[in-house]
């Protein structure tokens, strides 16, 4: 197989053996869900229900707060217990809590949207928007925004990301094995939007089973090509994936649409298929609960809004020496000090480290080995940007192209001195943005 | 779960490689060639190696405590400097030469400029240059290999003086059975160690390949288009030791891949020119030191072009 890839990157241990052979299991119905109105990049949704209201599965309970925003739906049927600020990952957000009546009543708005042939591109985008679909790889960018480029930008290639380059995570892998038809249907819907005959689904070569099954499923549409990618992190980063598959480089500071590409996660495609075929908005997702800190690692289908601690409990609970809880994968996931948080549309993984694994290494002086420079998929010099960032020299950090950092963490991973490279660059980026905002 | 968990920003996993593991790998890579040096030149070579390493580590500890910095002698970096210095000394050197050399390398070249990662020249090489210019007799009294420890000229010294008739065979040059610094003579074992370092990902092939390649090609062009001269030139003198272990010193060579190639070609060019036209028979030491000094400017002009970058 001719494997495609990008320049730079790293080879962390895959660590997928905990869950890769575990079929997706459906979580028990939660007795209570807490659904935040902000689970995406952009403006939060505004609540459409009040305490005491009876809601049904799939009912819209939050209206999109603008164009870059999506609506929020009830993931269970029951009674609204509260609409108030609650803790979410990285802060707090207005959250709707629903107590389950266990009737599992489907809302009347949830209806199949008809055949793909009969839908126009505009209608498909509207369905995606109304279903509250966001990028499910972890970023949570509203999908309909990606699919609505300005008229002067012609999209000529649609790519689905099945790379799943984050170590530990296997939710996309299991989805590709168990529900390939959904992904292919979602792909066809995306191709229909742009009137394209061809599309690519990229899969890393450490997932031969998924590659085989997806190739089989794609046979019904000769325009859909399953392409093998080299197993390398961050193969699934949007710009790196476009580069690997099409050879195009998204211009610095630009969006994929500038090279005519649209990239979506395979799980996002499956959600799109669902929204069209059954009419069910995005109310559940597959989450990989894994790591040495969990007794029985699983790929589990959860209702959005289920508390993290309840999900972990269904995976055998924690081992005795839990040290760190990470939402997402180990390379770009976000650590949380508590598990009393609701799951969201972007909870792709719950990774639990033991205390030993959680230990943060002591940084030492940079020895100028240049490994970060070779690893950087954006072709930056992370050691220099970081050095300037650490002495608050934002001008020089920006000159060294800090803003082109995609925060993949490859530099920090390879650094033999265990320096906080991406951490400091991330902070510099925020400060540079803040300064730009102020000077406007 | 009631206890507090650790939080930190991503990534949450790090590679196993550390500064100590890298430095330890360099020491491991140098062991075969060091043992060969002791085998060829006798006990005094072993004593020099020991004195040099001990002095380097002691100086490191002393400087760090003077600078009120954490003592990091267990990171093996001072051991590497001490060992490399010893390998660059003649086996006949008196005991005080490695002591002075190690103190100069660690205290002046390394710590006066900020310590590990901040030195702009290779400490061991700079110390050797200091010793050669200060005590030229002691530093150029070469021993012939063997138990008798008689003095002898190095192959490059012979070439410089036109005594090509007494040149040792190419095979002896490859094995290390020739005159020279105690650790530089066995090209074969130095290459073996280099392969280990490549395998471990400690060095990239760029600097050694372009350095040695440049010397090979230039010697062919300047040396009368005789391919034998080219082979001879890469196996004698300090080239293997310099190209694989000294020019690849992280902090005194460019961090950019393109810069490393320019650095290596420059060092190869200077080495060959010094060997052919310079006052010294061997040019490896000064060529690397000169390229060390050029490193910041090379880096500035070889910054990688950012992904998707044309504008700005």
Let me know whether A94 and A127 are in one domain: no
Please give the order of strands across the beta sheet that includes A78-88. Answer: A32-36, A91-100, A78-88, A54-55
- Residue B73's closest CA among B127, B123, B23? B23
Q: Is residue A406 part of a domain?
A: yes
pLDDT of residue B312: 40
Q: Is residue A152 part of a domain?
A: yes
CA distances from B154 to A119, B172, B211, B281 (A): 84, 12, 21, 9
Residues of B whose CB is below 8 A from A358: 5-6, 12
Does A167 contact B at CB distance below 8 Å? yes
**By CA distance, what is B118's nearest residue in A?**
A367
Local confidence band at B3 (pLDDT 50, 70, 90 cut-offs): low
Residues of A whose CB is below 8 A from B17: 414, 416
- Residue A407's closest CA among A436, A431, A430? A430
CA distances from A381 to A370, A395, A422, B249 (A): 8, 15, 11, 18
Q: What is the ipTM of this complex?
A: 0.90
Q: Is residue A17 part of a domain?
A: no
**By CA distance, what is A330's nearest residue in B?**
B12
End residue of a domain, out of A277, A304, A326 = A277
Residue A21 φ/ψ, nearest 5 degrees: -100, 15
- Residue A307's closest CA among A104, A139, A89? A89
- Say which residues have a Cβ less than 8 Å from residue A403's Cβ, sequence separation at least 6: A253, A429, A432
Measure CB to CB from residue A368 to each of B21, B117, B303 and give the nearest one: B117
Q: Would you call B307 and A381 a contact, using CB atoms and an 8 Å cutoff? A: no
Q: Would you call B307 and A414 a contact, using CB atoms and an 8 Å cutoff? A: no
- B66 min Cα distance to partner chain A (Å): 18
User: For residues A324 and A335, is the Cβ–Cβ distance under 8 A?
Assistant: yes
Let me know whether A229 and A319 are in one domain: no
Q: Could you tell me the residue ranges of all domains in chain B?
A: 19-301
Q: Would you call A323 and B6 a contact, using CB atoms and an 8 Å cutoff? A: yes
Let me know whether A134 and A271 are in one domain: yes
CA A42/CA A38 separation, integer angstroms? 8
A-to-B residue pairs, Cβ atoms closer than 8 angstroms: 166
**By CA distance, what is A378's nearest residue in B?**
B307
DSSP element (H, E) containing A326:
strand A322-327
SS3 state at A137: coil
Q: Report the residue of A364, A388, A430 to disrupt the B interface, i.e. the one with the largest count of B CBs within 10 Å.
A: A364
Q: Is residue A15 part of a domain?
A: no
Residue A121 φ/ψ, nearest 5 degrees: -55, -45
Q: Would you call B22 and A338 a contact, using CB atoms and an 8 Å cutoff? A: no
pLDDT of residue A262: 95
Does A374 contact B at CB distance below 8 Å? yes
Provide the whole-model pTM: 0.92
Domain count, chain A: 3
**By CA distance, what is A325's nearest residue in B?**
B5
* Straight-line distance from the first to the last Cα atom of chain A, in angstroms, rounded to the nearest whole number: 51
Residues of B whose CB is below 8 A from A423: 8-9
Does A378 contact B at CB distance below 8 Å? yes
Does A122 contact B at CB distance below 8 Å? no
- B64 min Cα distance to partner chain A (Å): 13
pLDDT of residue A171: 97
Q: Would you call A370 and B116 a contact, using CB atoms and an 8 Å cutoff? A: no
Q: Inform me whether the pLDDT recorded for B68 exceeds 50.
A: yes
User: For residues A359 and B12, is the Cβ–Cβ distance under 8 A?
Assistant: no
Q: Report the residue of A311, A319, A325, A368 to disrupt the B interface, i.e. the one with the largest count of B CBs within 10 Å.
A: A368
- B51 min Cα distance to partner chain A (Å): 26
Residues of A whose CB is below 8 A from B204: 374
pLDDT of residue A139: 80
Low-confidence ranges of chain A (pLDDT < 70): 1
* CATH code of the domain in which A67 resides: 3.10.20.600
Q: Would you call B72 and A364 a contact, using CB atoms and an 8 Å cutoff? A: yes
Residues of A whose CB is below 8 A from B15: 10, 12, 413-416
Does A309 contact B at CB distance below 8 Å? yes
How many CB atoms within 10 Å of residue B270? 21
Q: Would you call A404 and B306 a contact, using CB atoms and an 8 Å cutoff? A: yes
Let me know whether A258 and A184 are in one domain: yes
Let me know whether A217 and A181 are in one domain: yes
Instruction: Answer left, alpha or beta for residue A316, where phi above 0 means left and psi between -120 and 50 means alpha.
Output: left
Let me know whether A156 and A76 are in one domain: no
Q: Would you call B10 and A334 a contact, using CB atoms and an 8 Å cutoff? A: yes
CA B140/CA B153 separation, integer angstroms? 9
Q: Would you call B257 and A373 a contact, using CB atoms and an 8 Å cutoff? A: yes
Q: Omega before B11 cis (within 30°)?
A: yes
Let me know whether A375 and A350 are in one domain: no
**By CA distance, what is B19's nearest residue in A?**
A416
Q: Would you call B1 and A309 a contact, using CB atoms and an 8 Å cutoff? A: yes
User: For residues A159 and A262, is the Cβ–Cβ distance under 8 A?
Assistant: yes
Let me know whether A243 and A170 are in one domain: yes
Residues of A whose CB is below 8 A from B69: none
Q: Could you say which residues from 232 to 271 on chain A have a Cβ atom under 8 Å away from some Cβ of chain B?
A: 239, 243, 249-254
Q: Would you call B18 and A378 a contact, using CB atoms and an 8 Å cutoff? A: no
DSSP state of A114: -
Does A5 contact B at CB distance below 8 Å? no
CA A372 to chain centre: 25
pLDDT of residue B62: 97
Q: Is residue A398 part of a domain?
A: yes
Averaged pLDDT, B168-172? 84
Local confidence band at B207 (pLDDT 50, 70, 90 cut-offs): very high
Measure CB to CB from residue A381 to each of B255, B308, B309 and give the nearest one: B255
Q: What is the pLDDT of residues A20-39, one digit of tens each?
A: 999 999 999 999 999 999 99
User: For residues B128 and B285, is the Cβ–Cβ distance under 8 A?
Assistant: yes
Q: Would you call B311 and A251 a contact, using CB atoms and an 8 Å cutoff? A: yes
Q: Would you call B311 and A373 a contact, using CB atoms and an 8 Å cutoff? A: no
Measure CB to CB from residue B116 to each of A10, A367, A422 and give the nearest one: A367
Instruction: HSE, CB side, 13 Å, CA atoms: give it for residue A85.
Output: 3
pLDDT of residue B2: 57
SS3 state at A91: strand
Q: Inform me whether the pLDDT recorded for B148 exceeds 70.
A: no
End residue of a domain, out of A326, A357, A388 = A357
Residues of A whose CB is below 8 A from B304: 373, 379-381
Q: What is the pLDDT of residues A377-421, one digit of tens each?
A: 999 999 999 999 999 999 999 999 999 999 999 999 999 999 999
Q: Is residue A375 part of a domain?
A: yes
Let me know whether A91 and A240 are in one domain: no
Measure CB to CB from residue B12 to each of A333, A401, A414 and give the nearest one: A333
Q: Which fold has domain B19-301?
A: Ammonium transporter fold (1.10.3430)
Cross-strand pairs, A318 = A294
**By CA distance, what is A250's nearest residue in B?**
B308
Query: Residue A45: which domain range?
Result: 25-110+281-357
Q: Would you call B5 and A364 a contact, using CB atoms and an 8 Å cutoff? A: no
Let me know whether A258 and A388 are in one domain: no
Averaged pLDDT, B18-29? 97
How many CB atoms within 10 Å of residue B101? 32
Compute the mean pLDDT over every residue in chain B, rounded to the nearest whole number. Answer: 92
pLDDT of residue A90: 83
CA A283/CA A43 separation, integer angstroms? 19
For chain B, list residues whose CB is within 8 angstroms of any CB belonging to chain A. 1, 3-15, 17-19, 21-22, 72, 75, 115-118, 204, 250-251, 254-257, 260, 303-312
Q: A334-336 and A46-47: which strand pairing?
A: unpaired
- Say which residues have a Cβ less than 8 Å from residue A133's Cβ, sequence separation at least 6: A70, A142, A143, A144, A268, A271, A272, A275, A281, A282
Residues of B whose CB is below 8 A from A336: 5, 7
End residue of a domain, out of A277, A304, A325 = A277
Q: What is the pLDDT of residues B241-256, one digit of tens each?
A: 999 999 999 999 999 9
Please give the order of strands across the beta sheet that includes A334-336. Answer: A25-26, A298-303, A284-290, A349-354, A322-327, A334-336
DSSP state of A294: B
Let me know whether A141 and A225 are in one domain: yes
């Amino acid at each position: 197989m001719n494997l495609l890839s990008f320049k730079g990157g790293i080879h962390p241990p895959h660590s997928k053996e905990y869950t890769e052979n575990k079929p997706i299991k459906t979580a028990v119905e939660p007795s209570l869900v807490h659904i935040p109105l902000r689970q995406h990049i952009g403006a939060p949704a505004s609540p459409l229900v009040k305490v005491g209201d009876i809601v049904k599965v799939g009912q819209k309970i939050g209206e999109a707060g603008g164009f870059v925003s999506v609506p929020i739906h009830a993931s269970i049927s029951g009674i609204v217990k509260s609409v108030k600020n609650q803790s979410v990952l990285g802060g707090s957000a207005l959250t709707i809590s629903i107590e389950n009546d266990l009737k599992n009543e489907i809302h009347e708005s949830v209806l199949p949207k008809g055949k793909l042939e009969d839908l126009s591109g505009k209608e498909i985008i509207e369905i995606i928007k109304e279903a509250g679909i966001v990028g499910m790889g972890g970023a949570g960018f509203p999908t309909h925004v990606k699919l609505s480029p300005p008229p002067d930008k012609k999209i000529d290639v649609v790519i689905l990301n099945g790379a799943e380059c984050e170590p530990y995570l296997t939710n996309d892998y299991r989805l590709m094995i168990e529900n390939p038809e959904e992904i292919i249907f979602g792909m066809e819907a995306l191709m229909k939007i742009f009137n394209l005959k061809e599309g690519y689904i990229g899969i890393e070569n450490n997932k031969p089973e998924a590659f085989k099954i997806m190739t089989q499923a794609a046979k019904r549409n000769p325009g859909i090509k399953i392409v093998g990618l080299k197993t390398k992190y961050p193969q699934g980063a949007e710009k790196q994936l476009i580069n690997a598959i099409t050879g195009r480089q998204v211009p610095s500071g630009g969006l994929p649409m500038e090279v005519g590409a649209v990239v979506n996660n395979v799980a996002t495609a499956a959600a799109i298929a669902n929204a069209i075929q059954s009419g069910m908005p995005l109310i559940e997702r597959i989450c990989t609960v894994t790591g040495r800190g969990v007794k029985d690692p699983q790929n589990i289908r959860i209702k959005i809004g289920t508390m993290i601690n309840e999900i972990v409990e269904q995976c055998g609970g924690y081992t005795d020496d839990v040290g760190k809880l990470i939402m997402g994968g180990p390379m770009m996931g976000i650590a949380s000090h508590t598990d009393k948080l609701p799951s969201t549309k972007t909870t792709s993984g719950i990774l639990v480290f033991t205390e030993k694994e959680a230990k943060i290494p002591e940084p030492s002086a940079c020895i100028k080995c240049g490994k970060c420079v070779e690893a950087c998929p954006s072709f930056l010099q992370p050691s220099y940007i970081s050095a300037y960032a650490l002495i608050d020299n934002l001008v020089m950090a920006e000159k060294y192209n800090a803003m082109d950092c995609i925060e993949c963490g490859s530099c920090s991973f390879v650094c033999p001195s265990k320096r906080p490279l991406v951490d400091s660059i991330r902070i510099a980026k925020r400060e540079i943005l803040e300064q730009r905002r102020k000077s406007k | 779960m009631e206890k507090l968990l650790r939080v930190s920003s991503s990534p949450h996993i790090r590679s196993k490689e550390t500064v100590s593991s890298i430095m330890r790998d360099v020491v491991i890579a140098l062991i075969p060639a060091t043992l060969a040096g002791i085998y060829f030149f006798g006990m005094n070579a072993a004593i020099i190696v020991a004195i040099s390493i001990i002095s380097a580590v002691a100086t490191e500890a002393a400087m760090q405590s003077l600078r009120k910095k954490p003592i990091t002698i267990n990171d093996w970096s001072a051991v590497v400097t001490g060992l490399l210095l010893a390998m660059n000394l003649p086996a006949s050197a008196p005991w005080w030469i490695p002591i002075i050399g190690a103190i100069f390398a660690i205290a002046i070249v390394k710590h006066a400029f900020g310590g590990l990662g901040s030195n702009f020249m290779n400490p061991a090489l700079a110390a050797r240059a200091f010793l050669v210019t200060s005590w030229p007799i002691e530093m150029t009294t070469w021993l012939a290999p063997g138990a008798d420890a008689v003095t002898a000229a190095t192959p490059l010294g012979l070439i410089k003086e036109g005594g090509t008739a007494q040149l040792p065979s190419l095979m002896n040059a490859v094995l290390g059975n020739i005159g020279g610094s105690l650790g530089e003579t066995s090209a074969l074992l130095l290459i073996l160690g280099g392969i280990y370092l490549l395998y471990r990902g400690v060095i990239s092939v760029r600097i050694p390949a372009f350095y040695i390649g440049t010397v090979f090609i230039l010697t062919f062009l300047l040396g009368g288009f005789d391919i034998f001269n080219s082979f001879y030139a890469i196996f004698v003198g300090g080239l293997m030791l310099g190209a694989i272990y000294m020019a690849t010193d992280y902090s005194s060579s460019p961090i950019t891949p393109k810069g490393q190639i320019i650095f290596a070609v420059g060092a190869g060019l200077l080495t060959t020119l010094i060997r052919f036209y310079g006052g010294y028979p061997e040019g490896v030491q000064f060529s690397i030191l000169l390229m060390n000094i050029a490193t910041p400017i090379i880096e500035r002009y070889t910054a990688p072009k950012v992904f998707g970058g044309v504008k700005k």
